[in-house]
């Protein structure tokens, strides 16, 4: 890993609180990591776990989900849905061998621009210390491993796949 390497972090921020806080951080000229790409979603509760998995599969080294504080969701209980999904997603990511620090859920209200700055910088530093995730390369390695296994089975005269 080169010393100049910077992690790619995708941040999904709810429209009503966390995205507004990021906007506040920007207009307040607060400095935060430049390697974070923010995507606005209407509610953290509308975040499909597939979005997180797709981000990792397409090369993200970390994913941050930001939503309204519990009890303050504009869609009443969207952030509680996000919390339940996030717990399940963390378990799945652990099973895939993805470190806990690569996925993070944070509650940030519209007035907490300083918290956006802190959370983004903290996550960027932690992911940088972990190094590149390299999931797309791992997919290629896994595909090659499966191809090699299939060829090995075919060479023994056994069926290539089991019904």
Residue with the two structure tokens 């996000």: 82
Query: How confident is residue 160, by pLDDT bands cut at 50, 70 and 90?
Result: low
| Three-state SS at 82 | helix
> pLDDT > 70: what percent of the chain?
94
Query: For 97-120, how does the pLDDT look when each residue is reduced to its tens digit (9 = 90+)?
Result: 899 999 999 999 999 999 999 999
- Between 47-61, 85-99, 144-158, the lowest mean confidence (pLDDT) is in 144-158
Phi and psi at 155, nearest 5°, equal -70, -25
In 10 A of CB 154, how many CB atoms? 11
Reported confidence tier of residue 25, pLDDT bands at 50, 70, 90:
very high
pLDDT tens per residue across span 61-105: 999 999 999 999 999 999 999 999 999 999 999 999 899 999 999
What's the order of all strands across the beta sheet hosting 103-107? 36-41, 9-14, 62-67, 103-107
Q: Quick check: 63 and 86 in contact, CB under 8 A? A: no
H/E segment holding residue 14: strand 9-14
Question: Sign of the C-alpha dihedral, residues 150, 156, 158, 159?
Answer: positive
Q: Which residue has the higher pLDDT, 146 or 117?
A: 117
User: With contact defined as beta carbons under 8 Å apart, do 51 and 142 qualify?
Assistant: no
Mean per-residue pLDDT of the chain: 93
pLDDT band for position 37 (cuts 50, 70, 90): very high
Number of Cβ atoms within 10 Å of the Cβ of 1: 8
| pLDDT at residue 88 in the model | 97
């Amino acid at each position: 890993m080169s010393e100049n390497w910077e992690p790619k972090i995708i941040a999904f921020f709810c429209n009503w609180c966390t995205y507004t806080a990021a906007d506040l951080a920007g207009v307040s000229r607060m400095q935060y990591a430049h390697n974070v790409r923010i995507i606005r979603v209407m509610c953290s509760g509308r975040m499909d776990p597939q979005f997180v998995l797709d981000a990792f599969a397409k090369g993200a080294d970390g994913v941050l989900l930001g939503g309204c504080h519990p009890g303050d969701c504009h869609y009443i209980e969207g952030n509680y849905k996000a919390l339940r999904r996030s717990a399940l997603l963390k378990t799945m990511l652990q099973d895939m061998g993805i470190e806990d620090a690569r996925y993070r859920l944070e509650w940030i209200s519209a007035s907490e621009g300083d918290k956006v700055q802190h959370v983004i910088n903290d996550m960027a530093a932690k992911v940088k210390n972990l190094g590149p995730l390299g999931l797309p390369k791992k997919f290629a390695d896994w595909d090659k491993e499966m191809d090699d296994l299939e060829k090995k089975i075919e060479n023994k005269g056994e069926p290539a796949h089991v019904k």
